[in-house]
Chain A
């Protein structure tokens, strides 16, 4: 994967001031799954906030719990085997984890909606695009079929699908991958949600289409002011559209900050490793360094820092105790013992 990471200082400054009101608060979220092999602790205490109109990227390796986190917010954790064992998710003042299924359905698709990774499988092959666009709308809002279709055409125009009137009557297989992802986005947007969760929205697409879809996200955010949580492992995508970045590892957020802070001043060794493993055009002299080893087994999460086994700067304390959160700036926090006073000077960089 060759991604280009570009910085625009001025743009970053602007973005950091664009932040509006807090709309989503995730507090100490724990999600576990019962399997034959035992209980998997997929998410182990995730806390973050989301503001109106911002784009938060959650990055990490596959299996780090980023998709589970987004599914938990969306109320899509299959129960059983899954369970939100602890924590709260406040959305517009309501705790989503406390809502019953009926109440949750009034949030799903209306206030929060979701975009899935693979547009080839996210659309039902036996229903027309029009039917799939309008059925959410007609479930949540009492409007006629004609009005719903009008709205569908409007939204297809917004996501850049030509001839929407005719396209409504077609089936998903009659569209290309990029077009299908636009339809998936249209479905997510049709009820005018406040929050859009995009789970790897460009991973399954060609590189050229990826760029188009990312531009579409920016355009939509500009027009509708929707907040976006972007789940990805692709730092190129993050660099392009994120305002803030949360780095997840083994079910925890280990570092979170503004895009500028994470890219220019990464503090957690994992974040550094992640950035060093991506080819960057602006740092030609540096060699790519893959992170050695594999993530820990979440059947039995380690007692201390989950990254300790792979960390080039691991100390004994890392194996015994989980690190506390250190506030580097008002927006930049990290969970790492290296930030402790007692660790200063141990490693010369």
Chain B
């Protein structure tokens, strides 16, 4: 297990390094790059840029000092807003985006697992049919379309929930709904498929033959094993929820990091785009690493890895 964690940790470092490097060189590859020293913007900004990117030095030492700043968690300045840095955007926007993301994951996982399990237990029944129809529709509806739909219906026509911003739990309902439906549908389908497979396993039959109570069989024997594939997609799920926050925050005018990121894309604030991308990537890669470790804890077979063996 320790060896596995170290291996995964090294992979994580390599991945972050690649993204940082890619970002750095792409930044320099932009025609008319903001880093070309005589691009006139505002002198204060120019000064910031030169200070951060060490523009007076050769490329190699620029690269080294850039990596150093990444390690010290400094993602650079903005070229559109003189007093802003990526760090200041992160400290303002990230908590809100994180809240949105976490609520979404909780909703998606809990309801997806419940839905998928019910569908599997009522295989080919009405519940199964309804749940899976819902799931296919949910997967087919891109979140930005769903977002506009729910605004139109629940905020516009019905007026049940506020249509924008992020202030109270009521404000959280529509964005979460729009963002969570897709992941929930995917989790529901995956849970159902893996639950159906697990339910045909001999160990389930054996648990029944032991005379255990049905709910105990489902929770202790079936669900835990059925959750394995769900845990493995949590990484991709996180990534898609994270990118989903870009559009959701844009549509609902939520002052999170995603909104700033989209703004920076739209007004081509390159340093912010780059800095934010590196931050987002680092966040995702670290989460992926954590998911892998959780998987290792949940599935005892991972620990094995050649060693240990058996007695007979």
Contacts and interface: CB of A to CB of B under 8 A. Distances in A.
Interface residues of A, number: 39
Nearest to A136: B210
A224 interface: no
B301 A122 contact: no
A148 B129 CA distance: 43
Interface stretch (B220-228, B258-266, B272-280): B220-228
Interface string A235-271: 0000000000000000000000000000000000000
A53 B202 CA distance: 27
Contacts of A116: 202, 205-206
Contacts of A118: 202
A114 B216 CA distance: 19
A174 B304 CA distance: 8
B298 interface: yes
Given A126-B299, A163-B311, A184 B211 contact: no
Contacts of B224: 126-127
Nearest to B209: A114
A22 interface: no
Interface in B194-217: 201-203, 205-214, 216
Contact of A113 (B209, B221, B225): B209
B308 interface: yes
**On chain B, which size bracket covers the interface?**
20 to 34
Nearest to B299: A126
B211 A124 contact: no
Contact of B300 (A101, A110, A126): A126
Contacts of A153: none
Nearest to A117: B202
The CB with the most chain B CB atoms within 10 A, among A74, A118, A125, A167, is that of: A125
A187 B300 contact: no
- For the complex of A and B, the 6 pairs showing the least CB-CB separation, nearest first, are A108-B211, A136-B210, A109-B211, A109-B210, A105-B211, A171-B300
Interface of A: 74, 76, 101, 104-110, 113-114, 116-118, 121-127, 135-136, 139-140, 162-163, 167, 171, 173-176, 178-179, 184, 187-188
